[in-house]
A and B are shown apart, each in its own frame.
Chain A
Amino acid sequence: MAKFQRAGIQPFGVNPAGVKSHASYVQKLHFNFPLLSDPDRAIARGYHALKDDGKGIQRSVYVVQRDGTVAFAQRGAPPVEEIVAHAS
């Protein structure tokens, strides 16, 4: 994730789980970026990251430019290098 930071990008994980659950997950996986709690799935819905059942999360990655527009959008979990390259 240092690659994100070197590219001037602040990464966030987004998941419906509560903040407490996130904290233990971060510890477990040694993530060094914050995980945002999205309990009502409002963020996932806004970013079209919900599955058809309206509950499941579809793995998706976005990069948002400083002007608030989408610079990169892809399903799945693309390598950080690819995300950074496309967003630059």
Chain B
Amino acid sequence: MSINRRQFLKIAGISSILGLGSAAATTGLLKGRLEAVQDIPSPEGLTAKRWGMVVDMSKFKTPADYQRVINACHSIHNVPTFDNNKDEVKWIWTDDFEHTFPGHENGFKGEEMNEKKFIVMCNHCAMPACVRVCPTKATFKRKDGIVMMDMHRCIGCRFCMAACPFGARSFNWRDPRPFIKETNPNYPTRTKGVVEKCTFCTERLEKGQLPACAEESAGGLVFGDIGDPNSEARKLIAKHFTIRRKPELGTEPSVYYIIGGGENA
């Protein structure tokens, strides 16, 4: 049986009308069946436009002041302590002036500043280099400005470590579990072969708590919304002269330092 042009066009026309009609009918029928939104943020959680930290170095005087803050973080996040520096894993640590603020070297800054250690951590940059280079999007920027790690996706390529100008990232060369002094049963550990870093305590923010370091710092670390001009952190930045680490690289760090240094600061 053969059909002529006219018959073919008729059949094609009718079937296309039928097809369109049924598509419209099904979408119309399914309209009311929205998928339920099952996952919501915790109601007591803290939110911000852009989380940031102001480090007031004048509040850090004795070695105990530093150690208290570092322990607060490392103990709750199951950060291991290795004997060998090569294996070191750190979320928050200290460094001297030259290494914290390269480009600001100054030979005459006095004994106090020469010896003073500075608290350093992930800067949660607004333009994070680590996020740009991550091939699996294991590290990503949250809407609230936190540069977060998804350990499930990390393949351990260490591109982020090469990209980060602040050395804020540590690689797990070894299984960290045997080197955790006291394990916090409420927080996971990491495994061999992933990169980790400070997360601004997202798990605590979601419970309405401040980051552990800020809570233990006795005012030395002021955590707040630097996207909000009325926040305590922003007011401190406006009131004092603050500097950031390597701003010339354009990553826009969210950690600000009040250097202090006696009465004239």
Instruction: Answer yes or no: do A and B interact.
Output: no
Q: Which residues of B are at the interface with A, using a C-beta cutoff of 8 A?
A: none
Q: Which residues of A are at the interface with B, using a C-beta cutoff of 8 A?
A: none
